[in-house]
Amino acid sequence: MKRTLQTSLIAAVAATTMMATAVSAETWRAWNIHSDGHPNTAAMDLFAEMVDATTNGEVKVDVFHGGVLGSQPDALEQVSIGAIELGNFNLGPIGPMVKEANLVSLPFIFKSVPHMFRVLDGEAGEIMAKGMADAGVMPIAWFDAGARSFYSQKPIETPDDVKGLKIRVMNNNLYTAMISAMGGNPSPMAFAEVQQALKTGVVDGAENNFPSFKNVGHYEVTTHYSLSEHLIIPECICVNTKKFEALSPELQSQVRAAAKGAALYQRALWEVQSGQARTEVEAAGIKVNEIEDKSPFQDAMDSVYAEYLKANPDMKKLVDLAKSTK
């Protein structure tokens, strides 16, 4: 089924575009933090294939998997200046460089993944995309990254359970504020270092979605995954704005069409593989704790919102847009 979907996506995208004659082919380097077995890796490979097919080889994408081009904050910097052309980025680490992108890093801002996509498809998404493009990282498609939950050597079922724990977070002050508000000790750290840090006890826990929890072996060095689902953060295919704008309008729409096709594929894969990742980690011994009532976690975030909006009053509009989106 995988092949069939891929093949028909490539055919569909190719059919919507005119055959172009290759004049000056260029190769774009793409950053991807994930390795084989993660939905985004397959989606980025498909994106590269589709770009090649639809632009008739005028644009080629060379994807570097497994974070070999550097950590996420470094790669973002590289894309913003055009040293790397594009990447599959999580919007969390984009917050420190693009204020508008921080909307998605406010804990519990979205009710669900479909709600998040509805917000992205509306005015708030447009404002975020503009802020990102102005900073040099232009989103041309949105990926699903599910919800992030806590994992550690004990269940985390209330904010009180976080008290005194050292929890690894991605690089963004909103996440350090989130952990501090629960009485924990936040520890910002690169993704590549987390498994070792969990193993050696440098941190007591971390938070992520099921595919990432499984794929990089965090489940091998922890025991409990507790469904707090405190963050629903989208990901993007983001391209250096100047490189993208230097393409002819025709090539731009072909690259966009390829990105849309890759995102469609990624979301379908995500749906299946996040369920599979959960089943696999449970089979490997991880105890998954359901949290019936998340309101104590949500209430603990009141001070995070209050302080954030006090320091960034202009973000209130985006928060209101997200909250008023059905």
Handedness of CA 135, 66, 145, 152 (dihedral sign): negative
CB of 105 to ligand BDP, least distance (A): 12
Contact 162, 296 (CB under 8 A): no
Choose, by CB under 6 A, the member of 170, 232, 255, 301 that binds ligand BDP. 170
Contact 65, 48 (CB under 8 A): no
Residue 121 to residues 26, 73, 245, 258, Cα–Cα distance (Å): 31, 26, 22, 18
Structure tokens that stand for 29 in this block: 């380097």
Choose, by CB under 6 A, the member of 28, 191, 244, 305 that binds ligand BDP. 191
CB of 258 to ligand BDP, least distance (A): 20
Nearer to ligand BDP by Cβ, of 208 and 266: the residue is 208
Nearer to ligand BDP by Cβ, of 66 and 122: the residue is 66
Name which of residues 257 to 316 contact ligand BDP (CB under 6 A): none
How many binding residues for ligand BDP (CB under 6 A)?
10
Q: Rounded CA gap, 143 and 14, in Å?
A: 21
Q: Which stretch binds ligand BDP (CB under 6 A): 2-10, 119-127, 205-213, 243-251?
A: 205-213
CB of 63 to ligand BDP, least distance (A): 14
33 near ligand BDP, rule: CB under 6 A: yes
Q: Which stretch binds ligand BDP (CB under 6 A): 105-113, 159-167, 204-212, 236-244?
A: 204-212
Distance from first CA to last CA of the chain, Å, rounded? 33
CB of 209 to ligand BDP, least distance (A): 5
CB of 233 to ligand BDP, least distance (A): 8
Q: Rounded CA gap, 269 and 144, in Å?
A: 10
Q: Which stretch binds ligand BDP (CB under 6 A): 123-131, 207-215, 239-247, 304-312?
A: 207-215
Q: 26 phi and psi, to 5 degrees? A: -135, 150
CB of 56 to ligand BDP, least distance (A): 31
Nearer to ligand BDP by Cβ, of 17 and 195: the residue is 195
Residue corresponding to tokens 């260029």: 26
Nearer to ligand BDP by Cβ, of 85 and 235: the residue is 235
CB of 287 to ligand BDP, least distance (A): 21
Q: Rounded CA gap, 229 and 291, in Å?
A: 9
Per-residue contact string for residues 222-261; x = within reach of ligand BDP by CB under 6 A: -------------x--------------------------
Contact 211, 270 (CB under 8 A): yes
Nearer to ligand BDP by Cβ, of 270 and 308: the residue is 270
Give the residue ranges of DSSP H helices in the chain.
2-15, 39-54, 72-81, 113-120, 123-134, 173-181, 194-200, 210-215, 241-245, 249-283, 295-300, 302-311, 316-324
With the CA atoms of 317, 86, 69 and 29 taken in that order, what torsion angle do they form, in degrees rounded to the nearest 10? 180
Per-residue contact string for residues 73-112; x = within reach of ligand BDP by CB under 6 A: -----------------x----------------------
User: Quick one: which of 248, 260, 266, 246 has its CA closest to 55?
Assistant: 248
Which residues of this protein are in contact with ligand BDP, per CB under 6 A? 33, 72, 90, 145, 170, 191, 208-209, 212, 235
